[in-house]
Amino acid sequence: MQRRRLALFGGSFDPPHVGHLMVASYVLATNKLDGLLVVPCPKHPLGKPLTPWRHRDAMCRLAFQDLAGVVISDIEQRLGPPTRTIRTVEHLLSENPDMVLSLVVGADILDEVHRWEQWDRLVTLVDLVVVGRGLAGGRVRVPDVASSDVRMALMRDEDVSDLIPWRVLEYIRAEGLYQTSPDTQKH
């Protein structure tokens, strides 16, 4: 019996942008996987304010809907606080002991592993798939797009149609998101 192989791609996704889609496509195309779990975190582990989870979850579902093999997971929402990757990974592996799990990480976080809870244990449980942004290291480079820059452009009413999927942009407009900073949004 062949073991199920999944990759975990977590993040704030506030909002999901074309860089996220390119990472997902790359990971699925270059790794022998049965699927990719996109996991929007309910709360930022370092306390940064985020747009409410229900909106980020909905935007992820819209952004990734055309990518075969991608599943949007609410595992961290169901587990409740604290949001920690090690906790998510251990839960997934306890429910699926025969699973081979990969973790998609940005090359930029490799300098910040000291801030991750139980990083040393985490890397014994998963295979790392390292992806770089812009000129950062990693095996692939995606456009240097950051969700924070997209949010700021939206607050300034600038055109971001080349940075985020059109369905996500329609959702943002319909819900009135990113007209103010995330910590002042009430939706």
The pairing of strands 70-72 and 100-106 is unpaired
CA distance 183 to 169: 20
pLDDT in tens, 44-79: 877 789 999 999 999 999 999 999 999 999 999 999
For 41, counting Cβ atoms within 10 Å of its Cβ (0-12 exposed, 13-18 middle, 19+ buried), the class is buried
Is pLDDT above 50 for 186? no
pLDDT in tens, 89-112: 999 999 998 999 999 998 877 888
Instruction: State the average pLDDT over residues 126-154.
Output: 78
Is pLDDT above 80 for 140? no
Is pLDDT above 50 for 20? yes
With cut-offs at 50, 70 and 90, classify the pLDDT of residue 181.
low
DSSP string across 99-164: -EEEEEEEGGGGGGGGGSTTHHHHHHHSEEEEEEETT-SSSSEE----HHHHHHHHHTT---TTTS
Average pLDDT, the chain: 88
With cut-offs at 50, 70 and 90, classify the pLDDT of residue 133.
low
What tokens appear for 129 in the block? 């798939």
CA distance 69 to 31: 12
User: What predicted TM-score, i.e. pTM, was given to this entire model?
Assistant: 0.88
CA distance 107 to 126: 16
Instruction: State the average pLDDT over residues 131-139.
Output: 60
Of 40, 169, 27, 159, which is closest to residue 106 (Cα–Cα)?
27
Within 10 angstroms of residue 131's Cβ, the number of other Cβ atoms is 24
Q: Which CATH number fits domain 5-184: 3.40.630.30, 3.10.20.30, 3.40.50.2300, 3.40.50.620?
A: 3.40.50.620
- Phi then psi for residue 81, to 5 deg, are -70, 155
42 vs 144, more confident = 42
Least confident of 18-22, 99-103, 110-114, 130-134: 130-134
CB 187 within 8 A of CB 57: no
Within 10 angstroms of residue 123's Cβ, the number of other Cβ atoms is 14
**pLDDT above 90 as % of the chain:** 68
Of 163, 109, 112, 116, which is closest to residue 137 (Cα–Cα)?
109
84 contacts: CB under 8 Å, gap ≥ 6: 45, 117, 118
